[in-house]
Amino acid sequence: MNKMTLAVGTLSLAAVVPSYARKVQKPNIIYIMCDDMGYGDLGCYGQPYIATPNIDGMARDGMRFTQAYAGAPVSAPSRACFMTGQHAGHTLVRGNKEYWAESARVMYGQNEDYSVVGQQPYDPDHVIIPEILRANGYTTGMFGKWAGGYEGSVSTPDKRGVDEFFGYICQFQAHLYFPNFLNKYSREAGDTAVSRVVLEDNIQYPMYGHDYRKRPQYSADLIHQEAMAWLDKQQKGRPFCGILTYTLPHAELVQPDDSLLERYEKKFFTDKTWGGNRGSRYNATEHTHAQFAAMISRLDKYVGEVLAKLKEKGLEDNTIVIFTSDNGPHEEGGADPTFFGRDGKLRGLKRQCYEGGIRIPFIVRWPGHVKAGEVSDAMIAFYDLMPTFCDLAGVKDYKRRYANRAKKTDYFDGISFLPTLLGGEQKLRHSYLYWEFSETNQMALRMGEWKMVVIKGVPHLYNLSADIHEDHDVAAEHPDIVDQMKRIILSEHVDSEDYPVTLPK
């Protein structure tokens, strides 16, 4: 990369899945999670304005889910549900708790930044996905947003099973697309901890104002380049898991002035501007519609390059690729979800437990194993990925093997959906899915076609089969259903001092 300096600082699936599964070498896993992309932001989910040919191609070549759910309606807890295999009533991290605000300040050129950055650590006594896979023969790489522990904490990539990391430890830092620094770790290079990579070309210019756009080192491109370099090193015969948590299309709405952006500036001739918010680290921007659309198309370009690299290296047929988003659409930084119809006909946005805040795009491509062109209405959630990955990796009885015996209860809430992917009978299914989010004091439960959203302790009931937009509260008409769902919520919720919610009355 350009002018950067370091700152101190062979198993058969038949052994673990039913007989319909083919006997293959332990598969590689590429998990691509973008940031704040709504259910309706892709062409294959009905988006009319934004070109996403590579992701749409994944859907044509694989399986597209229509009822897949994030772990939570905001970043850190949703990622925690993915990593821990726990739902938001059990996992430790249930919100975007920050640790940087009271830290000492440091200077990068004339730019003031924080000496410690990052969010609440994952529970060090509960296993996460990279630890399981690395312990079972996988090389692990993670590129993008971590958001599972602040710098120097008990939960950083180097301590949690990640062999190579490059990106943002801190999701607040990720609000700047031309930042002062990024974070890195490489076990192969002999690193002993995560360190900072100072972006020397960026810090010549201020973090805010007109000259900010003179910064040349765009984080999303740098992260993707590192991910591709890592992928290029992977070889047949050594399974790997790449977790690519790209920050696009999260605000701020800014990117290089290139042909991709220019195309959308011409398309959206009548566009909007936005004045910025320094407290949130969002710089002012012009052409907000063009910026947002180009960010998604830029992400699509990255996905196409990942798929092309797998094909080039002869790894395509033995690599399962998953594409998804961490939660529903945002309206920060000048984003305009109404213009793009980004809720995909669903009610609600990021931070809400209505469908629009938690139902997300989810596509799986695995040539020769996942049937092309399939559309699944199976109800799955992020906490199902741990057992699914364990099935793929041949890890039997992961709950017993990896539960922490010192804990009174060590929850694992997921169900493997590998049988669904392979076209077999999904014998184990969720009877309900669960969410809670303290910041907006909301809880939610989905039970078949029934969906209950609890706001400040008040339950609201919807029948999604007749009311996908959750417009008609029928709680008064079905008190028996409400009581049943309230009992489930009370049984699933474990109190958290950090993240209190009002339980249903």
pLDDT attached to residue 388: 98
Domains, the chain, with CATH or none: 26-430 (3.40.720.10), 441-505 (3.30.1120.10)
pLDDT at 101: 85
Is 9's pLDDT higher than 50? Answer: no
Whole-angstrom distance between the N-terminal and C-terminal Cα of the chain? 56
Structure tokens at 456: 């400040």
pLDDT for the residue 102:
87
Q: Distances from the Cα of 398 to the Cαs of 218, 393, 416, in angstroms? A: 39, 11, 11
For residue 403, count other CB atoms closer than 10 A to its CB: 15
The whole-number pLDDT of residue 505 equals: 84
**Residue 174: φ, ψ to 5°:** -70, -5
Calculate ∠ Cα 76-378-86, nearest 5°.
30
The mean pLDDT value for 280-290 works out to 95
Strands 433-437 and 380-381: unpaired
Q: Cα–Cα–Cα angle for 349, 61, 38, nearest 5°?
A: 5
Checking if the pLDDT of 153 tops 50, the result is yes
pLDDT tens, 388-432?
999 999 999 999 999 998 888 999 999 999 999 999 999 999 999
**The predicted structure's pLDDT at residue 218:** 98
Question: Exposed, middle or buried: residue 259 (CB in 10 Å: 0-12, 13-18, 19+)?
Answer: exposed
Residue range 13-66, pLDDT digits in tens: 333 343 333 444 799 999 999 999 999 999 999 999 999 999 999 999 999 999
pTM, 2 dp: 0.95
